Structure 1
Amino acid sequence: MYDFAYQKPGSLADAVGVLTGDPDAKALAGGQTFIPVLKQRLNKPTTVVDLAKLGLSGITVSGNAITIGAMTRHCDVAAHPDIRAKIPGLADLASWIGDEAVRHRGTIGGSLANNDPAACYPCAVLALGATVKTDKRSIKADDYFQGLFTTALAQGELITAVEFPIPERSAYEKFRNPASRYAIVGVFVAKFPDGVRLAITGAGQNGVFRHAAMEKALSANFSPDALNGITTPAGDMNSDIHASAEYRAHLCGVIAKRAVAKA
């Protein structure tokens, strides 16, 4: 690690003030991605701003929505009875992230701010049409994700919570890297009264994305068979040592069918 200053502010305003005033300051949530990056000297922040004391954790149910605080840990999302009952796909997704140690430290806000192209949470947020709430505004999921490790967040802007509408059905399936548990291909499907949303992570060259053809077919017939014959262009897929673009394109259809069957 390079040397850096460390601050643990007690208010959201103080944290935002440090991050806004110094473009080289970085926020620390659960640290499950950021700390390894620091250890590998891939980032050299002037100041690390620890968000642990800001009171941003917690899960609330209001009407037809569930709101999850940004500092809520994966294990708490996975175990929460209201999430398990109302959005089982989201609870299932959280239970599959990393290993037990990661799930007891990692946070939903940290995952979304980082927007790793193989992370699980972006898939759920996009498929469920969630709203990302920050200290400044509310951002619809379709506007939030803007490419690999890129989001709509401005300098110093912090996620405070994520609001999820409750669907009629939901499910998540993941073909995972056996070492890291990151998604080689992950599919989240959510059925609402007005149609189906389906998002894919781990596969696309530009990160998480919605699959319009699958959504159209499933909105007409919510069945795995509705996806027969629907393909995903390999030219849009990522290719690396774990899977070729062609294999990822094939997996999109296979994992999507499994997600729909589970839902």
Structure 2
Amino acid sequence: MIPSSFGYVKADTVEDAIRLLQESNGEGKLLAGGHSLIPLMKFRLTSPGTLIDISRIDELRGIRKDGNRLVVGALTTHHQVQRDPLILEHLPVLADAARVIGDLQVRHRGTVGGNLAHADPAADLPGVALALEAMLEVCGEAGKELIDLDGFFLGPLVSALPDNSMLTSVSFLIPPPEVKSVYLKYAHPASGYAVVGVCALVGLDADGVINYARIGINGVGDIPYRALGAESHLLGNVPSEALIKEAAALAPNEGEMGSDLFASAEYREHLCRIYTERALIQLLLPEGAA
């Protein structure tokens, strides 16, 4: 498992990184934490001509509140996310997801931006980010632009990130204070990646009626997705076991289930329903949670 030969350069600023990408003629790859890119290089699934190290660009780090959103710099590590006071106060489910990514070494080096830009459907953040209506700030040849995460993932390891561009930050919508949230996953026993991951956020009005519902799902197919049918089924209703079962049964509908040697498409569809049901029970009927 030895990668092909490659060049190495270090970028000191975002503008420097964009310039180096342009000069690489499509052969350059950005290196941040390296936990996604390096394994692919070792298996020679990708062979970049030049690695552009952006790991020391300080402007890509940090977490701040901007109106009704939390903005997370692309180089912010999973370890920082799981401990940050703003995250814990406003987006505890993001901290919960960061806490179950890989192992301690991965969480200390892996980055939020790298996790999403890599577009691995079995990663933990994509479903959570979809449920939190994430927006991506991207910097490229034409300057900065905002990209809605919905539609960003095109396939396994394929995204809508423009050529010669880099993800600089991710902003997550802060839900209303009464909204509860949870991230549950069934992890592959060998890799720890999600065979299914379900992020659910739900809120009730003063009359106990569901007035907020977001469900993001990753791991089951080539593209993470929002379970819009399940969300719609919940809204305007009083929580009950029957309602939760009906909503959970709709959870696979917007996704295309994948299949491999570990889990068939039918099994992934089953897991999708079961883990959505468990998440909703935990949030809406806590006395009935297992």
Give the TM bin, normalised by the shorter chain.
Answer: over 0.9
1:94-144 CA distances to partner (integer Å, 9 max, x unpaired)? Answer: 000011111111001001111101011111111111111111200112132
Partner of 1:9: 11
The answer to whether 1:145 aligns with 2:157 is no
Partner of 1:122: 126
8 Å Cα contact 1:148-1:207 kept in structure 2: yes
Superposed counterparts of 1:78-157, under 5 Å: 78-135=82-139, 136-157=144-165
- Percent identity over the alignment? 40
Residue by residue over 1:37-64, the C-alpha shift from the partner in whole angstroms, topping out at 9 and shown as x without a partner, is 1122222111000111222111112332
Gap regions ≥5 residues in structure 1: none
Correspondent of 2:37 among 34, 45, 51: 34
Greater RCO, 1 or 2 (C-alpha within 8 Å, sep 6+): 1
1:236 deviation in Å? 2.5
**Structure 1 stretch displaced more, 17-26 or 179-188:** 17-26
Identify the residue that residue 185 of structure 2 maps to in structure 1: 174
Normalising by structure 2, what TM-score?
A: 0.85
Match of 1:259 in 2: 279
Say if 1:218 and 1:2 are closer, same or farther in 2 by CA, change over 3 A: same
CA contact (8 A) 1:223 1:261 kept: no
Give the secondary-structure state (helix, strand or coil) at the position aligned to 1:251.
helix
Q: State the AA in 2 paired with 1:255.
A: Y
CA distance in 2, matches of 1:217, 1:179: 35
Question: Which among 270, 274, 277 is matched to residue 250 of structure 1?
Answer: 270
Contact 1:224 1:257 in 2 (8 A): no
**Aligned pair in 2 of structure 1 residues 162, 233: CA closer, same or farther (>3 Å)?**
closer
Equivalent residues of 2:227, 2:253 under 8 A apart: no
List 4+ stretches of structure 1 deviating above 6 A.
none
CA 1:208–1:60: 2 relative to 1, 3 Å: same
Q: How many residues align?
A: 262
2:96 pairs with 1:76: no
Structure-2 change in CA distance of 1:16 and 1:24 (3 Å): same
CA distance in 1 between partners of 2:166 and 2:180 (Å): 30
Flag the structure with larger Rg.
2
Q: Aligned AA for 1:172?
A: Y
Q: CA deviation at 1:76?
A: 0.7
SS at 1:236's partner residue? coil
2: distance between equivalents of 1:52 and 1:233?
A: 39
Equivalent residue number for residue 287 of structure 2: none
Deviations 1:73-105 (A, max 9, x none): 011111112212211111100000011111111
TM normalised by structure 1 equals 0.93
For 2:229, the equivalent position in structure 1 comes to 213
Match of 1:51 in 2: 54
By how many angstroms is 1:238 displaced?
0.6
Cα RMSD of the aligned pairs, angstroms, is 2.0
Q: Deviations over 1:143-183 (max 9, x none)?
A: 32222222111111101111111113322110111221100
Report the residue type matching 1:150 in the other structure.
Answer: V
Q: Kindly tell me: are residues 235 and 221 of structure 1, through their superposed partners in 2, closer, same or farther at Cα, counting changes over 3 Å?
A: closer
Cα distance change of structure 1 residues 224 and 50 upon mapping to structure 2, 3 Å threshold: farther
Distance in 1 between residues matched to 2:66 and 2:256, nearest whole Å: 38
- The residue aligned with 1:189 is 200
Residue equivalent to 1:24: 27
